């Protein structure tokens, strides 16, 4: 656990170096610490080192952790696959959902978002590498889904999320191309009048490539908390 603050610093340095290389202001890239599978104590340690935003993928696992840490005023992002029967606790407890891939789920989240909370920030997840095993809508489906989600009253569409296939060489042309396709889509949607400000892409192994292509949120688990036992 004592390595978490050092790991966090190393990731922040990687982000700063990638921003320097890309000619970007590091303040335009937000670090989301992915704490799925890690106990409350690990999140507490990272929070003590200054980390505010945390990502979780499993509703059942996240809720008790979030309740135990409620006093820390952290910002919680849901980044995992979301089924209809789990939308209510997500709408009631999270600040962000990155993994919108169907309108039905977005409609439920909007209907279930409590009136006393600000609109739920959401991203539409795009399966940019086109793998059958991956979640997310296709690049072709994304514009219509984004426009429909943007019209829902209790959601605020912030942008797009992608998990491209892992590549052996992080800076490979393929990784860059997939992140670049996301950037092109993001620019096109903004040009169509959707006021998007978020490109959620880049993880422990490929955050540099994502930042080169315009990522505004990088989602980093392993490089902060260590290797996960479960998947
Ligand atoms: C687990 C997960 C991450 C973090 O991946 P690492 O390789 O551990 O950095 C990022 N995004 C999503 C959607 C995840 O499920």
* Mean predicted confidence (pLDDT) in 180-203: 97
Mean pLDDT of the residues in the chain: 94
Distance CA 67, CA 124 (A): 27
Within 6 Å (CB) of ligand 1, which residues are found? 34, 36, 57, 79-80, 163, 203-205, 219-223
Pick the atom of ligand 1 nearest to 161's CA: 13
Q: What is the pLDDT of residue 165?
A: 76
Reading the block at residue 222, the tokens are: 């392993």
**Does residue 38 contact residue 59 with C-beta atoms inside 8 Å?**
no
The structure's pTM equals 0.96
Rounded distance from Cα 170 to ligand 1 centre (Å): 15
Give the residue with greater pLDDT, 65 vs 130. 65
Rounded distance from Cα 158 to ligand 1 centre (Å): 19
Q: Which residue has the tokens 């860059």?
A: 176
Residue nearest to atom 4 of ligand 1 (CA): 221
Pick the atom of ligand 1 nearest to 228's CA: 8
**60: alpha, beta or left? (left if phi > 0; alpha if psi -120 to 50):** alpha
The residues facing 54 across adjacent strands are 33, 76
Rounded distance from Cα 193 to ligand 1 centre (Å): 30
Task: Give the SS3 label for residue 35.
Answer: coil
Pick the atom of ligand 1 nearest to 203's CA: 9
Whether domain 3-15+35-222 has CATH 3.30.465.10: the reply is no
Beta strand spans in the chain (E): 30-34, 53-56, 75-78, 96-100, 120-126, 155-162, 198-200, 217-220
pLDDT, one tens digit per residue, over 91-144 is: 999 999 999 999 999 999 999 999 999 999 999 999 998 877 779 999 999 999
Best probe residue, ligand 1, of 14, 15, 53, 57 (max atoms within 8 Å of C-beta): 57
Task: Give the SS3 label for residue 120.
Answer: strand
Q: What is the pLDDT of residue 133?
A: 73
Q: What is the pLDDT of residue 175?
A: 78
* Mean predicted confidence (pLDDT) in 20-49: 98
Q: What is the pLDDT of residue 171?
A: 60
Distance CA 28, CA 26 (A): 5
Is the per-residue pLDDT at 153 higher than 60? yes
Pick the atom of ligand 1 nearest to 57's CA: 15
Distance CA 181, CA 213 (A): 9
Q: Which residue has the tokens 């489906």?
A: 141
**Does residue 2 contact residue 46 with C-beta atoms inside 8 Å?**
no
Give the residue with greater pLDDT, 209 vs 230. 209
Report CA dihedral (99, 184, 205, 173) to the nearest 10 degrees: 140
Is the per-residue pLDDT at 170 higher than 60? no
Question: How many distinct helices (H) and strands (E) make up the chain?
Answer: 9, 8
Distance CA 175, CA 165 (A): 8
Q: What is the pLDDT of residue 195?
A: 97
């Amino acid at each position: 656990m004592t390595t978490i603050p050092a790991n966090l610093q190393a990731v922040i340095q990687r982000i700063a170096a990638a921003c320097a290389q890309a000619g970007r202001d590091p303040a335009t890239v937000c670090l989301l610490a992915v704490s799925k599978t890690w106990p409350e104590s690990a999140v507490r340690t990272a929070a003590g080192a200054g980390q505010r935003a945390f990502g979780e993928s499993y509703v059942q696992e996240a809720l008790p952790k979030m309740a135990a840490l409620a006093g820390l005023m952290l910002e919680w992002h849901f980044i995992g696959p979301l089924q209809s029967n789990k939308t209510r606790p997500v709408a009631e407890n999270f600040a962000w959902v990155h993994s919108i891939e169907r309108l039905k789920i977005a409609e439920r989240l909007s209907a279930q978002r409590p009136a006393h909370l600000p609109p739920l920030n959401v991203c539409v997840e795009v399966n940019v590498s086109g793998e059958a095993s991956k979640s997310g809508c296709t690049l072709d489906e994304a514009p219509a889904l984004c426009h429909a989600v943007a019209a829902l009253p209790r959601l605020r569409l912030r942008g797009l999320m992608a998990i491209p296939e892992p590549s052996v060489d992080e800076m490979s042309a393929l990784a860059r191309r997939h992140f670049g396709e996301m950037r092109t889509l993001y620019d096109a949607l903004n040009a169509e009048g959707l006021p998007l400000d978020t490109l959620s892409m880049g993880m422990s192994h490929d955050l540099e490539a994502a930042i080169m292509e315009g990522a505004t949120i990088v989602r980093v688990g392993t490089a902060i908390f260590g290797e996960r036992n479960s998947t």
